[in-house]
Structure 1
Amino acid sequence: MVRRSVVQLLSALLHNANLPGFITGRIWQAQPKSVCVPVLNCYSCPGALGACPIGSLQSTLAGTALKFPFYVVGLLLLFALCLGHVICGWLCPFGLVQDLLYKIPSPKLHKNAFTQKLSLLKYAVAVIFVLLLPVYFWWQDGVGAPAFCKYICPAGTLEAGLPLLALNANLRDGIGLLFGWKFLLMLAILGACVFIYRPFCRFLCPLGAWYGLFNKLSAFGITVDKAKCTGCNACVRFCKMDCQKVNDRECINCGECKKICPEGAINFKTKF
C-alpha cells in the first residue's frame, strides 16, 4: 500500500526533523524534547524532536527515587485509546525500516502456530525489561537502569548509537562489550526482517504489546461490517502479522486486508 508508505516516511521525517543534528552529532535538548511521542523513536537520535515513551517510562523508574510515572502512563493511555495499533502500522519509523527490508526478494517465513505463540514474548519483554528490571536495579543499587533501552532496543542502536558514533570520534574510544552486544542484536533483527515480516514488532516490541491491548477500544482503526462478512477468513490468511482475526491484539491496522476481502466488509472507521 503506497499511501501507507508515504505516511510512514512523513512520520519518520517529522519525528526526526532536527536535521542539523545529523551533521553536528549533537542531541537536541530543548524543553519540548521532554514531550513523549507515540512511537518507538530514540531520544538520543540526533534528529529526534521528542522523547520515546518506553525510554521515558524507564527513566522515571530508573531514577534515584522510585515514583509512579503518571505523565508517561497518561500519555500512553491517550495514544492507545485514540489510535491503538494504528500507530505501529502507520507512524512508527522502525516499522518503516522493517517494512522496507521485507521488500528485499528472498524466501519468506510466513506466520504459523509457532510464530503466533512467539508473539506472546513481547509481553514478557515489556514486563521484565521495561518494568521489573529498572525497579530491581534501583532496589539493589539505589539507581535504576533502563534495561530495555540498554540491552535490547535495536531502534536506539540504529537511530542513535550508530549516527552518534559516526559523528563523534571521542565516543568511538569508549565502545565496549555492551555496544557490541547491541550492535550484533540489531544486525540479527534487521537481517531477520528480510525473511520475516516485522519480527521486532511481532516478538519483542513492548510498545506494540501495550497498544495491542487497546486495539478494540481505540477510537480509530480497522472495523469489520458483520452484516457483509461471510466468515471466509481470507483476511486472516492474507495478513502477515500473527492475527487470528481482524483487529485483534496482533493487528497493526495496516489496512492490507481491505483489498483481499471479497465482500468489501473491512474499512477504516472511527469506533464510536
Structure 2
Amino acid sequence: MGKLKQHARTLVQFIFTALTNGYAAGYAQGSIYRGAGKFVCVPGLNCYSCPGAVGSCPIGSLQAVITSREHKFTFYVLGFLLLFGALFGRLVCGWLCPFGLVQDLLHKIPFVKKLRRLPGERALRCLKYAVLVGFVVILPLTVLDIVGQGQPWFCKYICPSGTLFAGIPLIAANPPLRAALGWLFTWKAAILIVLVLLSIVLWRPFCRYLCPLGAIYGLFNPVAVYRFRIDTDKCTACGACQKACKLDIAVYRTPNSPECVRCGDCRRSCPHGAICTANTRPGAARDRQATHRTSFPE
C-alpha cells in the first residue's frame, strides 16, 4: 500500500492519458477521431489532431473559436478553464496532462548531472505568459487572412504536444503526408527535440517556460479549492521542502506559487508535517508524516 501511494501520481497520469488518448483505431488507421467526444474539452494539453484523442485541448478549442470569422469569444472554454482552475489550479498539470507525463518519464533517464534551473530562470518563467497573451490571444485575433480568419498560432507554431501525439503518428501512418513535409514540421520537430533533450536534465522545461495552459491554471493556485497551507506552529523553515521540489520552490514561503504543479514531493519530504491542504483537519499532516515514516523507514 505504501509503494502504491508513492507512485499514485504516475499511475493517475497513465490512466488519464490512456482514457483521453485511447482511440486505438485512430493510430491503426492514421485517422482522427471525430465523434461526439471532440466537442468536450479535457483538462490538459490534448491535441485535437492526435489519432487517439477522444476529447479536445482547451487551448486548441479556444483558438478554434477566436480564429473563426463567426465567433471571437467562447463561454464554454473559458468557463471550463475557470472551473478546473478554481477547483484544482496546477494540479491538472501535475496529475492529468499527457505531455507532463512524457516530461516526467524523460527526466527519469539517468544523466551525469541534473539541473535545478537554467540561467535567467526568473525571466524564462515569464515566457509562458507572453506565449499565452501573444500566441494564444493577440496574434490569432489580429493577424487575419484575406477572408478575415486568424490562425491558431500556438497550436501551429509552438505546441510540442501536438507534434508528438498528432504530427508524428499521422505522418508515420500516411505516406502522402510525409511527401508534403515542409519547414513548419521541421521547426516544430526542432522545438520538440530541444524539449525532449532538456527534459532529461531539467524537470518539466515546457511546463516551466512555455505552456500557456499552465500559465492559466497557475494564476488560480493561491485561491483554488485544492491549495496548500503551511502550519506555522510546526514549520521551522528548514528548507527540506525546497530541496525536494524539482521546481526549486521555497514552499515554506510560497506554498501556492503559480509554478507549483502539486506533485506532492514537498509534503512527503517535510520532517514536521507542516505542509497540508487548505481543508486538512488539524493534526492530519502530522499523522500522515508519521505514517510515511513507518511505511518508508530511512
Instruction: Select the residue among 111, 116, 141 that pairs with 1:110.
Output: 116
Unaligned 5+ segments in structure 1 are: none
Match of residue 60, structure 1, among 60, 65, 68: 65
Three-state SS of the structure 2 residue aligned to 1:164 is: helix
TM-score w.r.t. length of structure 1: 0.94
Residue 264 in structure 1 maps to residue 273 in structure 2: yes
Deviations 1:223-256 (A, max 9, x none): 3223322222321232111524222111111101
Count of aligned pairs: 272
Following superposition of structure 1 onto structure 2, how do residues 4-153 of structure 1 map, counting pairs within 5 Å? Answer: 4-106=9-111, 107-111=113-117, 114-138=120-144, 142-153=148-159
Paired residues of 2:20 and 2:55 also in contact (CA < 8 A): yes
Q: 1:169 to 1:139 in 2, by over 3 A?
A: closer
- Residue 20 of structure 1 aligns to a residue in which SS? helix
Cα distance, 1:122 vs structure 2: 0.6
Residue aligned with 1:223, SS: strand
Q: Percent identity?
A: 49
Alpha-carbon distance in 2 for matches of 1:12, 1:222: 26
Maintained 8 Å contact 1:226/1:265: yes
Instruction: Say whether the 8 Å CA contact 1:89–1:95 is kept in structure 2.
Output: yes
Aligned counterpart for 2:172 among listed residues 163, 166, 169: 166
Secondary structure (helix, strand or coil) at the match of 1:68 reads coil
Q: In the alignment, is the contact (CA less than 8 A) between 2:13 and 2:97 conserved in 1?
A: yes
Post-superposition offset of 1:112? 6.3
Residue-by-residue CA offset, 1:77-112 (whole Å, 9 max, x unaligned): 001011111100111110010011011111211136
Q: Which amino acid aligns with 2:87?
A: C
Residue 197 of structure 2 aligns to a residue whose secondary structure is helix
Larger Rg: 2
Candidates 243, 248, 262, aligned match of 1:253? 262
Q: Is the 8 A contact 1:85 1:211 kept in 2?
A: yes
Q: Secondary structure at the match of 1:77?
A: helix
Q: How has the CA–CA distance of structure 1 residues 113 and 162 changed in structure 2, closer, same or farther, with 3 Å as cutoff?
A: closer
Query: Is the CA contact (8 Å cut-off) linking 1:119 and 1:242 kept in structure 2?
Result: no
CA distances 1:25-74 after superposition (whole Å, capped 9, x unpaired): 11110122111111011111111010000001111111123421211111
Structure 2 distance, partners of 1:266, 1:19, is 41
Give distance in 2, aligned partners of 1:160 and 1:34. Answer: 18
Which amino acid in the other structure matches residue 247 of structure 1? N
Q: CA-to-partner distance for each residue in 1:182-227, whole Å, 9 max, x for gaps?
A: 1111111111101111000000000000000000111124332233
Question: How far apart in 1 are the matches of 2:118 and 2:280?
Answer: 30
Gaps of 5+ in 2: 1-5, 282-298
SS of aligned partner of 1:59 = helix
Q: For the Cα contact (< 8 Å) 2:116–2:248, is it kept in 1?
A: no
2-structure distance, mates of 1:109, 1:9: 25
